[in-house]
Amino acid sequence: MREVIFDTETTGLDPRTGDRMVEIGCIEMVGRVETGRTFHAYFNPDRDMPVEAERVHGLSAVFLSSKPRFAELAEELLAFLGDAPLVAHNAGFDFGFLNNELELAGRTPINMDRMVDTVAIARRKHPGAKLSLDALCTRYGIDRSHRVKHGALLDAELLAQVYVELTGGRQIGLGLTAEPAEAIVIADAGPTAPPDALWYRPATDKPRREPRPHAASPEELERHRAFMDGIKDAIWAS
């Protein structure tokens, strides 16, 4: 199954008050494994950069002034996203900014039922624990020493590793049973979605192959008997 892990950087906390998205980083995963395909872009927000936001991500208005506007790259971004589930940490925040930019560009917002929130997954798996991306990286032993400031692509790369751990680790779905695992709830759709809007997925959507027999053939058994009979002074024959 294809999924896209993404993160955004912005000028502030609320697109309804004029804040804009200035960076997006996306990581493609298939079967919970990174494929190496990414999408990363900076955007000119056509506004100032508050000093508080710049302290977080280090993106200045001067740096962003030479970057394309979101509308110029919207088609390329949407093509990368496709119809895959979109995974983000505190996903309601990132979806709010992404959909705001799409609306400003005259595009259709992304349906919230595609949203997978790793904060919601972590809250169910580790109730009462710290749920920040940094805290989860520490919990799962994920190296973030190169993370000096927030960056959309870097944070998406870290989140991809956290997401794998939150949903079963690298060995998810490697059971040897021929019976399919039950579908599991992996994320709430967020506060703006209907109460019953949950993202479900089966443990695997690949066709299952029945176990193959591994019994020895009569010829193999006969060769084994002859080999054993040829061993002199065998301790099991005493």
Is the CB of residue 158 less than 8 Å from the CB of residue 142?
yes
- Cα–Cα distance measured from residue 150 to residue 188, given in angstroms and rounded to the nearest whole number: 25
Tell me the Cα Rg of the chain: 25
| Strand pairing category for 115-117 and 86-88 | parallel
Identity at 228, one-letter amino acid code: M
Query: Is there a catalytic annotation at residue 150?
Result: yes
Per-position b or e across 100-127, b if 16+ CB within 10 A of its CB: bbbeebebeebebebbbbbbbbbeeeee
Nearest in space to 174 (alpha carbons), one of 206, 200, 199: 206
Q: Which of 57, 126, 146, 150 is catalytic?
A: 150
- Catalytically active residues are 150
